[in-house]
Structure 1
Amino acid sequence: MESIPKTKQWWKEAVVYQIYPRSFKDSNGDGIGDLRGIIEKLDYLQELGVDVVWLSPVYKSPNDDNGYDISDYQDIMDEFGTLADWDELLHEMHARGMKLVMDLVVNHTSDEHHWFIESRKSKDNPYRDYYIWRPGKDGKEPNNWQSFFSGSAWQYDEATGEYYLHLFSKKQPDLNWENEKVREEIFNMMTWWLDRGIDGFRMDVINLLSKVEGLPDAPVTNPNDRYQWGGQYFVNGPKLMDYLREMKEKVLSKYDIMTVGETPMVTTDDAIRFTNEQDGVMNMLFQFEHMDVDSKPGSPLGKWDIQPWKLTDLKKIMSKWQVELHGKGWNSLYLENHDQPRSVSRFGDDKTYHVESAKMLATWLHMMQGTPYIYQGQEIGMTNVSFPSIEYYRDVETINLWNDVVVNKGYDPDKILKAIHYRGRDNARTPMQWDATEHAGFTTGTPWINVNPNYRDINVEQALKDENSVFHYYKKLIRLRKEHPIIVYGSYELLLEDDEQIYAYVRKFNDEQLLVITNFSSEQPTFTLPSHITFTEKQLLISNYTVDENESIDTIVLKPYEARVYKLK
């Protein structure tokens, strides 16, 4: 058995809360969340018990991709407030013992950033080489790469008769990381924020910075499926580790901060290379394998082609990440963020067993090894929204999909709308549900996107009053993490590998074991304790139903979406 690892770190023991500012709290009635709205709600976050807030982008931006298209890295978007508001927010968070992590978006900028405005003026402009420009080939794009947001990844620009690369929206041109000046500008900007007092960065699509030399065509079998071929051309590209090591050496290593990389299409080997504590380049990362468990691989519709997911597939993925990173790297634990639908609608039951399944999912995730992330509203069990038509949606990815496959290609609109109801990013972006008053207490004006109609039943005010609410359950999970080092540092062993209803696992640390039993179904399967798990005393740490503490755990008939955690000695 192992004792506390030498590498005890505050960011391993922390619980992170993600704020999507546009949808969190509006303080001035313009229908858009803002920094003063966040300041108003800091006591709520302190009550929940989170240690770190990750703030999605609040920088100057024309808002093509809700702030992930930045026009000035060192100023605040007008709708969100001012730098003075931001300074106050940081001060108020630190006063409550919370840390602030900012979003670092440096694969691309906005096409309205002054670097790009200069870059497109002429081929010999000093900023030309800040971006990736190429002449066309035979009257067409420089290659056949497709954008993550549908359509070609190249945009023709009249002024100089060339194309620029954009892996995302055409208003998000990719930066040219080969250019030393670009890297220097970015490192200076990062240092500026760290010197203002922030506690780290969440790094947007950070493993896409390096593109393969020559930018060759992708295999034509399925040019739409970036997930199939992107890995050869711009994921973990040839110079990525050089860029990230330089970033670490020149900036990150000088501060005691938390860094988490958003890294699509990585393996556990990549993760160890990125996050090992000897020569890694970030503390932890977000991987997406479990987020693709319900997608049809290789489909022309990509993530929008939904397939029923199997618990055994989820077990394989989660267990691989738990076991292979243990002692070698560090993982992030998440089921929701601003790009993912609501987890209780996706992996639980948001109707009959709404509260039970929301608590079960929280237990299952928070008892694993890694740093847990809670996305705003997840702690009260917010659900997906089913808007009646495309007119209600605001997300650029969703709208581009609709125009591409329904308007241009004639796909069945009902089928695509269903996929959007299930998978669309706006599921996570409907306003935070604070109370049962109009617009859920988010704004006194007209919200920028409609509120989920179920806000009268699911809201913070009600959750705080009900001691059996999802909120109070999350609060307890966060507290348990602080009280039991085994939750942070223990090893992981999967039980009942082939069971399609029960996900159970054991964590081990010193002479203690943690037994986690969760039922992912609305049925009542029987859990049988494997014979190799022995103990002399047991303590029930948390459960989402009332349980007799003295009940034997050799066999348990589980209730729908039941979760229990026992500490065994």
Structure 2
Amino acid sequence: MKSKFLLLLCLISGINVLAQKKKIVPKVMVKDEVIYHIFQRSFYDSNGDNHGDLNGIREKLDYLQHLGVTAILLTPLYDSPFYHNYFADDFKAIDPKYGTMQDYLALIRDLHKRGMKFYMDMETQYVTQGHDWWVDGVGDPQSKYSDYILYDDSAHTQPSTIIFDLKGLKGYDGVYKKITTVNLNSPKVQDYNYHLFKFWMDPNGDGRFEDGVDGFRLDHMMDNLDNKPALPHLFSTFWDPLFAKLRKVNPRISFVAEQANWATFGKDYLTAGGVDRVFGFRLAMAIRSFDKSQLAKAADSTFQLVKNGKQQIVFIENHDMARFSYGVKGDIARLKIGAALNLLLGGIPSIYYGQEIGMSGTNASLGATDANDIPNRSAFDWYKSGKGKGMAYWYKQKGPWKEKFETDKPNDGISLEEQTEDPNSLLNFYREMLALRKANPVLIGGAYKTLTNNNDQVFSFQRTENGKRIVVAVNLSERNQDVAIQIGGKETKLNQLHGIVKATIVPAAKAGDPNTIKLNMAPNGVEVWGLE
């Protein structure tokens, strides 16, 4: 569970015959995609129980499409004793607080009718004390599940620990639950995973996939799970073979890895691991730094790794990180820089729910409990007052810390209601950037290149595709900056797409010199031009 371990733990916190016969169109990488990452328990409550749910997401699909979203990624849906659902009691049972299987299928079909995609978060590397493999297997070496989980003794009375040698976690409600590591070396477990993933790809087994997921996010994916000697080389023995078998069922399915080591670019996941996409963690950290050199280095390295149809997920927030707004103290200009870089740099953009209205929050320090992450996963603020239909205040219902989570305040400007009609709001800036991206396909699939300039406070880059070129300049400072951006090429005209600076191209002074753009940028300014 990745940082839910790096963070939450620091805190502690057979192929269907019809499918075989059916001709399936080979997989193509869809470039025009914007993912909306939802912690669904906190998004929108459709039935008044204070828990966000599947029907609540359906009710808000119009909002997401108006924003410019084309796909949604949910955190795990399966039944679990933990509020975040990352440790399962049953991988095939949907948490009742989210709804029923019928609700789930209705959401998937509605998404697909709208031309939208659905990604499911999966972490099958661990199970809880309530899972059948534990209930039937612990203490019984003769159980049919005897090799489904790892044990530290031959009598199978001591299920192996998870990351950091933990034996379990205390939930936000104060209840401690035991957790153990799954034996991914077991042929039975490997076969179980194949059929489990295949089920979510095609729940009714008709080989058509209208009711199935479009891809999976693989939480805390590792080659050597938690550095346990018993689970080495999983890329070659578990993950890549699993993906290969599933692609035979549906060649269009996509696998997205959350690399366990956030400091890496994830290259080994794209090659040896067999995934289609990885999350650009180092790029996310560079964007948060507002440091030109870090940005250029991370962007150059990140996008150079994208080869042979592979892709990077570009983001600035997720459910394991302090909100971007917290880091910039709610500064609207800095929030807009984050939005522009998130959406224009390249790759597949991902927006974490509430990011578009500047929701804030950072990890709490409440001891050994997963409650520490709740401020990063609090209720989407739909209303100016913080009250109203659909507010998902599940974490205020019980637990010794329920009064501590007050990330929403009335009349603070951080709500959908307050920002919808404000032309200068962060929400409408996100809409503007997404509309700009959609209107200029070069910003969707164009190649990335950092552009040299003479100012350490200005980050500049270009996107190019099919003879089209767009240049973006971002003033990372809070002061006016003079800059000369080397653009090269033979273009002689700038078509302004966003910004306030009316710049012109300065022709090369002599043969071999690059053309340049000279301008004075406003504090925290974002300028976008098409070159002709």
Question: Which category describes the TM-score, using the shorter chain as reference length?
Answer: 0.7 to 0.9
Shift of the alpha carbon at 1:431?
Answer: 0.7
Secondary structure of the residue that 1:247 maps to in structure 2? Answer: helix
Question: CA–CA distance in 1 between the matches of 2:235 and 2:319?
Answer: 25
Q: Judging changes above 3 Å, is the alpha-carbon distance between structure 1 residues 474 and 529 closer, same or farther for their aligned structure 2 residues?
A: same
Secondary structure of the residue that 2:202 maps to in structure 1? Answer: helix
Q: Which residue of 1 aligns with 2:352?
A: 375
Q: Judging changes above 3 Å, is the alpha-carbon distance between structure 1 residues 327 and 506 closer, same or farther for their aligned structure 2 residues?
A: farther
What per-residue deviation string (whole Å, max 9, x for no partner) do you get for residues 475-499 of structure 1?
Answer: 2322333333322332222234895
Shift of the alpha carbon at 1:566?
Answer: 1.2
Q: Judging changes above 3 Å, is the alpha-carbon distance between structure 1 residues 153 and 33 closer, same or farther for their aligned structure 2 residues?
A: same
Tell me the C-alpha RMSD between the 2 structures: 3.4
Aligned pair 1:282/2:275, yes or no? yes
Q: Which residue of 2 aligns with 1:35?
A: 54
The residue identity in structure 1 corresponding to 2:391 is: T
Correspondence list, 1:231-246, <5 A: 237-246=232-241
Aligned pair 1:194/2:211, yes or no? no
The residue identity in structure 2 corresponding to 1:257 is: I
What per-residue deviation string (whole Å, max 9, x for no partner) do you get for residues 317-367 of structure 1?
Answer: 232112333557321101111111112332xx334x32x222211111222
Aligned pair 1:350/2:357, yes or no? no
Q: Judging changes above 3 Å, is the alpha-carbon distance between structure 1 residues 292 and 487 closer, same or farther for their aligned structure 2 residues?
A: closer
Q: Which residue of 1 aligns with 2:76?
A: 57
Shift of the alpha carbon at 1:42?
Answer: 1.3
Question: CA–CA distance in 2 between the matches of 1:68 and 1:369?
Answer: 30
Correspondence list, 1:437-448, <5 A: 437-439=385-387, 442-443=390-391, 448=396
The residue identity in structure 2 corresponding to 1:240 is: F
Q: Judging changes above 3 Å, is the alpha-carbon distance between structure 1 residues 368 and 184 closer, same or farther for their aligned structure 2 residues?
A: same
Q: Which residue of 2 aligns with 1:318?
A: 299
Q: Judging changes above 3 Å, is the alpha-carbon distance between structure 1 residues 14 and 122 closer, same or farther for their aligned structure 2 residues?
A: same
CA contact (8 A) 2:314 2:347 kept: yes
Aligned pair 1:178/2:185, yes or no? yes
Q: Which residue of 2 aligns with 1:250?
A: 245
Q: Judging changes above 3 Å, is the alpha-carbon distance between structure 1 residues 238 and 517 closer, same or farther for their aligned structure 2 residues?
A: same
CA contact (8 A) 2:468 2:531 kept: yes
Question: When the two structures are superposed, what TM-score results if normalisation uses the length of structure 2?
Answer: 0.79
What per-residue deviation string (whole Å, max 9, x for no partner) do you get for residues 34-66 of structure 1?
Answer: 122212211111211211111111211111x61
Q: Judging changes above 3 Å, is the alpha-carbon distance between structure 1 residues 481 and 132 closer, same or farther for their aligned structure 2 residues?
A: same
Question: CA–CA distance in 2 between the matches of 1:557 and 1:550?
Answer: 12
Shift of the alpha carbon at 1:173?
Answer: 1.6
Q: Which residue of 2 aligns with 1:422?
A: none
Question: CA–CA distance in 1 between the matches of 2:287 and 2:72?
Answer: 29
Q: Judging changes above 3 Å, is the alpha-carbon distance between structure 1 residues 504 and 269 closer, same or farther for their aligned structure 2 residues?
A: closer
Secondary structure of the residue that 1:100 maps to in structure 2? Answer: strand
Aligned pair 1:467/2:462, yes or no? no
Correspondence list, 1:35-434, <5 A: 35-63=54-82, 66-135=84-153, 147=163, 152-153=165-166, 171-196=178-203, 197-208=212-223, 210=225, 214=229, 237-255=232-250, 256-265=252-261, 271=267, 273-275=268-270, 281-290=274-283, 310-325=291-306, 329-346=310-327, 349-351=328-330, 353-354=331-332, 356-384=333-361, 390=365, 396-397=369-370, 399=372, 425-434=373-382
Shift of the alpha carbon at 1:99?
Answer: 1.5
Is the deviation greater in 101-110 or in 445-454? 445-454
Shift of the alpha carbon at 1:268?
Answer: 7.0
Q: Which residue of 1 aligns with 2:486?
A: 530
Secondary structure of the residue that 1:74 maps to in structure 2? Answer: strand
Paired residues, number: 472
CA contact (8 A) 2:133 2:148 kept: yes
Is the deviation greater in 526-535 or in 335-344? 526-535
Shift of the alpha carbon at 1:262?
Answer: 0.8
The residue identity in structure 1 corresponding to 2:116 is: M
Q: Judging changes above 3 Å, is the alpha-carbon distance between structure 1 residues 90 and 568 closer, same or farther for their aligned structure 2 residues?
A: same
Shift of the alpha carbon at 1:188?
Answer: 0.6
Question: CA–CA distance in 1 between the matches of 2:363 and 2:262?
Answer: 32
Aligned pair 1:489/2:504, yes or no? no
Identity score, percent:
26
Question: CA–CA distance in 1 between the matches of 2:430 and 2:221?
Answer: 30
Shift of the alpha carbon at 1:192?
Answer: 0.9
Question: CA–CA distance in 1 between the matches of 2:423 and 2:28?
Answer: 32
Question: CA–CA distance in 2 between the matches of 1:446 and 1:245?
Answer: 38
The residue identity in structure 2 corresponding to 1:111 is: Q
Provide structure 1 residue ranges, at least 5 long, that are not aligned to the other structure.
1-6, 156-168, 216-233, 296-307, 400-424
Question: CA–CA distance in 2 between the matches of 1:522 and 1:386?
Answer: 27
Question: When the two structures are superposed, what TM-score results if normalisation uses the length of structure 1?
Answer: 0.74
What per-residue deviation string (whole Å, max 9, x for no partner) do you get for residues 60-111 of structure 1?
Answer: 1111x61111111112112112112112222222232211111111121223
Q: Judging changes above 3 Å, is the alpha-carbon distance between structure 1 residues 118 and 475 closer, same or farther for their aligned structure 2 residues?
A: same
Q: Which has the higher helix share?
A: 1
Q: Judging changes above 3 Å, is the alpha-carbon distance between structure 1 residues 214 and 98 closer, same or farther for their aligned structure 2 residues?
A: closer
The residue identity in structure 1 corresponding to 2:180 is: P
Secondary structure of the residue that 1:529 maps to in structure 2? Answer: strand
Secondary structure of the residue that 2:495 maps to in structure 1? Answer: strand
